[in-house]
């Protein structure tokens, strides 16, 4: 979303030897102080991203709220920033709900998604009095009704419809096709709304649609908006069901290429304008006039567009090597900290923390994990890197830490929040004892080895 990127938090200093900065902080200083791998977030970028979204909607005069999808990143310190700015929260588990409440999100702006909510999660969300459950099946409606009745409560529900629209994103992050597990087909959705409206402990307040993630064309959004609006209007006219809100989900794509620029950086292979991503105002301008035809309050649930470009994952080069076919740069981070390249063949820009003039070379930047799919970049033209150099993997703020794992018994990395020239640790690095088991290490008399 170009307008979100207008004031990049990550940029090179203007020195003769340019250093990559996050706001006013030099990233190589952070790498030295806290070690790598290290996630570094910009507070300014998160606030700016949220307001770019919120203000565009505010200026339309439309009743709305922007519900941040916690699955993208659920660090409580980042959540507190968004709660304070007035965002809502979109959660998918008891854990996310509790963290959202602890971070200060008001329950009236919390929605609960997911195809497989457990009875315990439904009970918790009911007692927390959230705004709405986004319900995915008839059976789920019946279960929520039963649990609400048991506790003498009423559950506010929004039914997720599946508009059968191809989001033209990676197949693993497309959710709006009939072959996907999400939502209820448009043909069966009316039956679901009628069923829900007859249940004593359910209050049908909305409709929900989310067609996928990292969507970089407007067409799928427009198609989904049109079919949802058509459905809402016919639901009112033919079945007399009047809703309060239309939740249009998230999925807005962001720029992953050319995020930081410098004449000393090799040119991106797609060229300057190679990656088309509609701007936020183009997105809102395209869908809002359509959604507005319902007269309903509008909710958007962006995750990636709020946090992705607000983070760089810092790493250190451990080794370099070459064979007759390829050159490899082996970093101390990989799929355990950022699984997106491995899972979705996703592109992330990789940039040295310190830039020097010199030869470039085509390399695979890979991690230390014992999997062939453990790569960060393939056949990428890069300034020459050597052991000990530090690099940044850009746009690692969404689906980075939240999809991190302890695979190979690797401790999860630390997280730092930068605010202007200040910074602070917002999550400690796990220790090797945490993942290997403190008791096991002590019982085996190995403590001296790790302390
Ligand atoms: C229902 C729902 N809403 C919102 C989101 C956030 O998507 P994104 O991060 O692409 O904006 C997701 C993520 O897949 C989702 O499943």
Output the domain CATH number for residue 211: 3.20.20.10
pLDDT band at 273, cuts 50/70/90?
A: low
User: How confident is the model over 357-396, as pLDDT tens digits?
Assistant: 999 999 999 999 999 899 999 999 999 999 999 999 999 9
pTM over 0.75: yes
Q: Residues 222-249: what's their mean pLDDT?
A: 96
The residue segments making up the domain with residue 49 are 43-307
CA of 113, closest atom in ligand 1 = 1
400 φ/ψ angles, rounded to the nearest 5 degrees: -100, -85
Contact 314, 30 (CB under 8 A): yes
- What is the whole-number distance in angstroms between the Cα of residue 90 and the centre of ligand 1? 9
Q: Is 399 helix (H, G, I), strand (E, B) or coil?
A: coil
Both tokens of residue 327?
Answer: 């050159």
Q: Is 268 helix (H, G, I), strand (E, B) or coil?
A: coil
Cα Rg of the chain (Å, integer): 23
Contacts of 297 (CB under 8 A, 6+ apart): 63, 64, 65, 244, 245, 246
Angle of helix 94-103 relative to helix 119-127, nearest 10 degrees?
20
Residue 65 lies in a domain: yes
- What is the whole-number distance in angstroms between the Cα of residue 214 and the centre of ligand 1? 9
Range of lowest pLDDT (68-72, 149-153, 311-315, 438-442) = 438-442
Q: Which residues line ligand 1 (CB under 6 A)?
A: 69, 71-72, 90, 113, 210, 213, 249-252, 301-305, 398
Residue 5 lies in a domain: no
* For residue 6, pLDDT beyond 90: no
Residue 81 lies in a domain: yes
Residue 284 lies in a domain: yes
Residue 419 lies in a domain: no
Give, in order, the Cα–Cα distances in Å from 302 to each of 181, 221, 299: 20, 13, 10
Half-sphere exposure of 282 (CA within 13 A, CB side): 16
The residue count of the chain comes to 451
Q: Tell me the best of 209, 210, 253, 280 to mutate to test the pocket of ligand 1, counting ligand atoms within 8 Å of each CB and taking the most.
A: 210
Contacts of 400 (CB under 8 A, 6+ apart): 39, 73, 311, 313, 337, 338, 340
* For residue 2, pLDDT beyond 90: no
Contact 148, 154 (CB under 8 A): yes
Q: Report DSSP state, residue 60.
A: T
Q: Residues 285-305: what's their mean pLDDT?
A: 95
Closest C-alpha residue for ligand 1 atom 4: 250
Q: Is 369 helix (H, G, I), strand (E, B) or coil?
A: coil
pLDDT at 175: 66
Contacts of 127 (CB under 8 A, 6+ apart): 151, 153
Q: Residues 134-140: what's their mean pLDDT?
A: 96
Contact 127, 152 (CB under 8 A): no
Residue 23 lies in a domain: no
Share the mean pLDDT of the chain: 93
pLDDT at 281: 84
**Residue with token string 């679901």:** 192
Q: Is the peptide bond before 37 cis (omega within 30 degrees of 0)?
A: yes
CA of 114, closest atom in ligand 1 = 1
CA of 208, closest atom in ligand 1 = 1
- What is the whole-number distance in angstroms between the Cα of residue 52 and the centre of ligand 1? 18
* For residue 94, pLDDT beyond 80: yes
Q: Residues 121-135: what's their mean pLDDT?
A: 98
Q: Report DSSP state, residue 258.
A: S
Q: Closest Cα to residue 205, out of 237, 153, 245, 234?
A: 245
Residue 184 lies in a domain: yes
Residue 435 lies in a domain: no
Instruction: List active site positions.
Output: 370
- What is the whole-number distance in angstroms between the Cα of residue 72 and the centre of ligand 1? 8
More confident call, 450 vs 195: 195
Total domains in the chain come to: 1
Q: Closest Cα to residue 71, out of 38, 101, 95?
A: 95
- What is the whole-number distance in angstroms between the Cα of residue 251 and the centre of ligand 1? 5
Give, in order, the Cα–Cα distances in Å from 222 to each of 116, 254, 286, 448: 28, 18, 7, 61
CA of 134, closest atom in ligand 1 = 1
């Amino acid at each position: 979303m170009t307008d979100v990127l207008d004031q990049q938090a990550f940029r090179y200093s203007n020195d003769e030897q340019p250093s990559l900065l996050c706001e006013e902080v030099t990233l190589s200083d952070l790498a030295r102080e806290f070690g790598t791998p290290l996630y570094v977030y910009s507070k300014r970028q998160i606030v700016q991203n949220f307001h770019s979204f919120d203000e565009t909607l505010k200026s339309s005069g439309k009743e709305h709220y922007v519900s941040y999808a916690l699955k993208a990143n659920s660090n409580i310190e980042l959540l507190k920033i968004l709660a304070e700015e007035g965002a809502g929260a979109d959660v998918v588990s008891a854990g996310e709900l509790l963290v959202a409440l602890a971070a200060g999100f008001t329950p009236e702006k919390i929605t609960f998604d997911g195809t497989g909510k457990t009875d315990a999660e439904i009970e918790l969300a009911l007692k927390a009095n959230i705004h709405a459950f986004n319900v995915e099946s008839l059976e789920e409606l019946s279960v929520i009704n039963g649990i609400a009745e048991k506790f003498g409560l009423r559950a506010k529900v929004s039914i997720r419809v599946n508009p059968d629209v191809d989001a033209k994103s990676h197949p693993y992050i497309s959710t709006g096709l009939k072959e996907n597990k999400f939502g209820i087909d448009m043909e069966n959705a009316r039956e679901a709304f009628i069923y829900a409206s007859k249940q004593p402990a359910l209050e049908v307040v909305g409709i929900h649609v989310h067609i996928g993630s990292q969507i970089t064309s407007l067409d799928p959004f427009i198609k989904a908006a049109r079919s949802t609006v058509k459905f809402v209007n016919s639901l009112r006219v033919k079945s007399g069901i009047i809703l309060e809100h239309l939740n249009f989900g998230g999925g807005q794509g962001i720029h992953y290429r050319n995020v930081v620029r410098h004449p000393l950086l090799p040119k991106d292979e797609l060229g300057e304008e190679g990656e088309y991503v509609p701007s936020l105002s183009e997105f809102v301008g395209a869908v809002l006039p359509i959604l507005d035809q319902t007269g309903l309050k509008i909710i958007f649930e962006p995750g990636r567009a709020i946090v992705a470009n607000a983070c760089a994952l810092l790493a250190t080069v451990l080794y370099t090597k070459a064979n007759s076919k390829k050159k490899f740069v082996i970093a101390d981070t990989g799929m355990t900290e950022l699984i997106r390249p491995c899972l979705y063949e996703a592109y992330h820009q990789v940039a040295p923390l310190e830039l020097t003039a010199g030869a470039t070379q085509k390399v695979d930047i890979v991690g230390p994990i014992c999997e062939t799919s453990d790569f960060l970049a393939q056949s990428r033209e890069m300034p020459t890197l050597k052991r000990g150099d530090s690099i940044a993997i850009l746009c690692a703020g969404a689906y980075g830490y939240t999809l991190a794992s302890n695979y190979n018994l690797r401790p999860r990395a630390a997280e730092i929040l930068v605010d202007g020239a200040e910074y602070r640790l917002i999550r400690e690095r796990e220790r090797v004892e945490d993942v290997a088991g403190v008791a096991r290490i002590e019982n085996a008399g190995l403590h001296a080895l790790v302390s």
